[in-house]
Amino acid sequence: MTGGNLLHKIVSKIDDFDERDINELPPLYDSVDVDALQAVVESGVERVEFRHAGYHIVITHNEVSVRNIIEDRNEQ
């Protein structure tokens, strides 16, 4: 997965959950070093997790999943 493709996938997944305009959310680089994230994913690591704008993002085998942290707490 290329750098732009990975970032697009993350932002698109967040946009699926969030009612705000995507431009109203803080930039992804406020939460994670996007170049380092891309390098780690390309290295073949099995799982990367981080939080951004109230979401828990998990990248596994080039798949991106996003969960709302507040909704996760309410389900427990």
In tens, the pLDDT along 50-68 reads 999 999 999 998 799 999 9
pLDDT reported for residue 17? 84
Q: Rounded to an integer, what distance in angstroms lies between the CA atom of residue 74 and that of residue 69? A: 9
pLDDT averaged over the chain? 88
13-22 mean pLDDT: 88
The pLDDT value recorded for residue 29 is 93
Residue range 35-63: average pLDDT?
Answer: 93
CA–CA separation, 29 and 15 (whole Å):
16
Q: For the whole model, what pTM was predicted? A: 0.82
- Whole-angstrom distance, CA of residue 54 vs CA of residue 62: 22
- For the segment 33-45, the average pLDDT, to the nearest whole number, is 93
Chain centroid offset of residue 31 CA:
10
